[in-house]
Chain A
């Protein structure tokens, strides 16, 4: 008869080992007074029954959490005869920190070196004998999931119960701390304590409040001036002492693993270092980044349009036809047929044929992200932004803004100083989000079918450029102050996995579709009503309510070259949501605006020059309602939300006008 405790890091396979040891012979309860789960079981060996307790998984045995306290109390109070320390063989360096603490507790320990098969698969060479010798405890290799090594582990563990306690290596914490340990132990001698004196001494020096309270409960100790002197000396040096103790434990782990673990030299590391020499080079880094982005947009068109675009149009046409026939067959009222075929299918049709492009763009972005290059891009931009006196971390929120400005604005929360945060929030709307992408795609199809990649590239870069300029302006005028310093982590390069890339596509495209679906439905419903009212006017005409609103706004955009009521209505609905711009144009220009019809209508209404000024306007002008609401929420100020609406509109308008006027002067059409 005896009791065995199982201790280990989370994910070390401890519970699998527990199951392998006990089979179905286990029950689950709670530790008294806490909400931590207690698992107990039994196993039989040589006719004797042994209890086994699965202690909560922890990384250390301090007093950071209930789990840690439960685990260490159970061990220290002598509830177990032997402790099995489950160590993940693939992650041995990290798991051994816990082991060092077990060794300090002066209990019988045996190590189950688990997942040894995975370690072998990873070519990690483990010297079991050397490990056992360095740690002064038996080490048994196991594969708990395949029940390998379990019998050996049981045999060794049971054998250990009757053995005399063997001498464990003592970690030296340096003369100063070792001296403190010695003198504390002197005071503890002769006391009946729940825990071993050396362990109490170490914990006191580590600044463990729990143990401190326990010791000062003892009236003799608490009133002993010399002892209190030691405690206050520890208090004065607590940070140094704590660090030194942890440091020495790691030195010990380093020493143990140097002698017992050989890891394969990973080719990835050297490749990463070599690639980084070029990709984040002081001078070449930026041009390479720009080149990669350019290539990405080019490739988007090559794959997305040429290979997949045609297919989508055919499918959509067939679908629209089928729905119309269906509605006629079931004798739907005329207005439902009109709303569905003209409004809904018109609006969705305008979008659907561009989905392949969006899929491909997110695929390429996913590849860049998964390969580790995105972090390098952020690092390069960080350097540039620092030089401009801006907080480099802002670029991280800008990258998020490429997906959608709402999470982009939220991502500014990681910026600590108010100045950095305000600037990052105000410039985020200039990042071209997924919904704006759609607008460019329609105009590219109409005017620049052969240089779509270049146009997209220019749009995205203009967004970044305007954001940087405005950031600089804001940091010189509105917000002054210091920026917090930080360091970026560059993960090793790796081959993008199909899974991650597909996931990235799915996340983004399903988001896009969900949003487009709900928004198009809502916007189409409202706009359609406005476009056919008042009763009797020509639907989708200038005399409709929608047309009148458009005519009222249109003159503002005359200097930018697109002063038509239709363009004005499109921009107006874009403030609700940017997806609505294309949908609205589809409705007002084409009426029954399926993809190709919308494009020919746009070719009639715009020129190449005005299409560019219109695209620049949509890139820069007032963000969508959801973004404005988020800005209000994050700045906690209606004033700044209104400011963001107005100043972005002004910038968009000025840029659009400049492009149109200068373009005209230069003789472009």
Chain B
């Protein structure tokens, strides 16, 4: 399941968990869990939404928007690429 998931990620232009769940015929919750597991095992990397303000601007009025990037992106790591090449 994990390897299938990884190759679907590789082939996709964008990630839609509902699409993937349909393609792999597994529930969306399992897709979600699969993503978490791939991250835990280091096959993919997820960009955490934005960055934390660590330039000591805690008092900056815009500090709140620092970690509020609304979009998640995923990258296949070298370990993941190695697996796909096999």
Contacts and interface: CB of A to CB of B under 8 A. Distances in A.
A253 B34 CA distance: 11
A250 B28 CA distance: 13
Contacts of A514: 61
Interface in A226-280: 239-240, 242-243, 246-247, 250-251, 253-254, 257, 261, 263, 269, 272-273, 276, 280
Contacts of A180: none
A79 interface: no
A58 to B, nearest CB: 12
Nearest to B21: A269
B14 A489 contact: yes
Contacts of A5: none
Contacts of B61: 510-512, 514-515, 518
A111 interface: no
Interface stretch (A187-195, A321-329, A480-488): A480-488
Contacts of B55: 410, 630, 633
Contacts of B33: 93-94, 97, 250
Contacts of B69: 396-397, 399-400, 411, 414
A440 B31 CA distance: 46
A403 B62 contact: yes
Give chain A's interface secondary structure class: helix
A247 B62 contact: no
A486 B74 contact: yes
Nearest to A240: B86
Interface in A487-509: 487-492, 507-508
A205 to B, nearest CB: 15
Contacts of A247: 1-3
Contacts of B15: 487-490
Q: How large is the interface on A (under 10, 10 to 19, 20 to 34, 35 or more residues)?
A: 35 or more
A511 B37 contact: no
Given A94-B32, A94-B33, A64 B40 contact: yes
Contact of B3 (A243, A400, A414): A243
Contacts of B13: 487
B30 A246 contact: no
Q: How large is the interface on B (under 10, 10 to 19, 20 to 34, 35 or more residues)?
A: 35 or more
A487 B9 contact: yes
B19 A407 contact: no
Contacts of A369: 70
Among A243, A374, A404, the one with the most B-chain Cβ atoms within 10 Å of its Cβ is A243
A568 interface: no
A239 B79 contact: yes
Nearest to A518: B61
B85 interface: no
Interface in B28-71: 28-30, 32-34, 36-37, 40-41, 47, 50-51, 53, 55, 57, 60-62, 64-66, 68-71
Given A374-B71, A486-B75, A487-B14, A263 B27 contact: yes
A143 interface: no
B18 interface: yes
Given A94-B32, A243-B83, A489-B72, A515 B62 contact: yes
A436 interface: no
Contacts of A64: 40
Interface in A93-133: 93-94, 97
Contact of A254 (B1, B19, B53): B1
Contacts of B47: 414, 486
Given A250-B2, A484-B75, A514-B61, A399 B70 contact: yes
A468 interface: no
Interface in B1-19: 1-3, 9, 12-19
B51 A410 contact: yes
Contacts of B65: 400, 403-404, 407, 507-508, 511
Nearest to A251: B1
A250 B1 contact: yes
Contact of B70 (A254, A280, A375, A407): A375
Contacts of A240: 86
A659 to B, nearest CB: 30
B62 A407 contact: yes
A264 to B, nearest CB: 11
Contacts of A486: 47, 73-75
Closest 10 CB pairs between A and B? A269-B18, A93-B29, A514-B61, A515-B61, A511-B61, A489-B72, A404-B62, A489-B15, A94-B33, A407-B66
13 contacts: A60-B40, A94-B29, A243-B83, A374-B71, A379-B14, A393-B73, A399-B69, A486-B47, A486-B73, A507-B65, A507-B68, A511-B64, A512-B61
Given A250-B1, A272-B16, A489-B15, 13 more contacts: A246-B2, A250-B30, A269-B28, A273-B18, A375-B72, A396-B73, A399-B70, A404-B62, A404-B65, A410-B53, A416-B75, A508-B65, A515-B61
Interface of B: 1-3, 9, 12-19, 26-30, 32-34, 36-37, 40-41, 47, 50-51, 53, 55, 57, 60-62, 64-66, 68-76, 79, 82-83, 86
